[in-house]
Each structure stands twice: as structure tokens, then as C-alpha cells.
Amino acid sequence: MMHPPEQIATGRLLLRKPLIEDADAVFREYAGDPEATKYLTWKTDEESSQAADYLRKALCDWQEGRIFSWAICLQGSGRVIGMIDARVDGYMLNIGYVLGRAHWNKGYATEALSAVLHWADAEEDVGRVWAVCAVENHASARVMEKAGMKREGTLRHWMVFPNLGGVPMDCYCYAHVKG
């Protein structure tokens, strides 16, 4: 059984278990932005109630030990700027993350991913952490590389990104493996 911390502090960020009260910030920062959600597996939210529904599900998933989601917040201000998830699959964690556009190109995604990888390394039940990104999503590929994940290959027609037309796209697979 994994024991994720409810908070992970880094130099500039606080990753914390999300709150239902984060819905407006989640919607405003990224969930309602077609550019920020372009490469995600769900359609861009049209209203903040959709973000609230996601947060309720995220809290249930955490309680059941299936998915651990952390709100990515700026240290000091507590401002929610994104989200990072670790989805449990046996001894593996599948990672997904998103940041609001105003916070791109500042190293925040790499910092958040590195913090989750550090936690996963300390978990004896985790042997592999992996993630995918669309081949065209160069920024996400670079985040994973800078966090120390290794590209394992290309998964052909692997994932549908509904905001890009709903056609399966090729994805790069990255992993961080213990030992």
C-alpha cells in the first residue's frame, strides 16, 4: 500500500492534496483554457462546476488509493497553477500533469515532476514511474527529460486527445525505473 504525502514542498512550489474550493482556480488557470488543455485526455471545461466535479472524483480516488492528485501551488501565495497526478497500476505509477499557460517556461512542471519522482523512489511498492506525451508536445517531452525520465520509445496511435480532433496520436513513452 502506498503512502503518499498530502503535501510535498520544493524550492518554489507546494504540491498539496486538492480541495473542492480549488475549482474556480483550476478552471481559471488551466481547465477552461483550450491551449493549456490541448494535449490532455479530456475536453476543455466550459464552466467551473466541471472542475469541481473533477476535484470530487480526485478526492475519492485518493481515498481509494487509485490516483493521487496534487494541486501545484506557488510557495507563499498558495495560488493553484496546475495539477499533477500519479495513477496506481500495481507496482507502477502513471504520471500526468498540467500547468496554466501563465506559468509555462519557468521550470515549474519539471520541479513538480521531480518532487513526485523523489517521493516514488522512497516508496518500496513503486518500481516504475512512466508517462506519455504526444510526439508533437515538445515542451512536455522536455519536462520529462529534465526531470530525469528516459524515453523508451514511440507508441503508435496510442492516445486520443479530444481537443485535437479525437484521432489516436503517436506518443513518446518516458519512464523512471528503480534499480
Q: The domain at 7-177 falls in which architecture?
A: 3-Layer(aba) Sandwich (3.40)
Measured distance CA(102)–CA(35) in Å, rounded: 11
**What residue spans define the domains of the chain?**
7-177
For 28-54, how does the pLDDT look when each residue is reduced to its tens digit (9 = 90+)? 999 999 999 999 999 999 999 999 999
Rounded to two decimals, the pTM is 0.97
Measured distance CA(62)–CA(107) in Å, rounded: 26
Q: Tell me the residue type at 87.
A: R
- b/e sequence 73-94, b meaning 16+ C-beta within 10 Å: beeeeeebbbbbbbebeeebbe
> How would you classify residue 61: left for phi > 0, otherwise alpha for psi between -120 and 50, otherwise beta?
alpha
For 76-97, how does the pLDDT look when each residue is reduced to its tens digit (9 = 90+)? 999 999 999 999 999 999 999 9
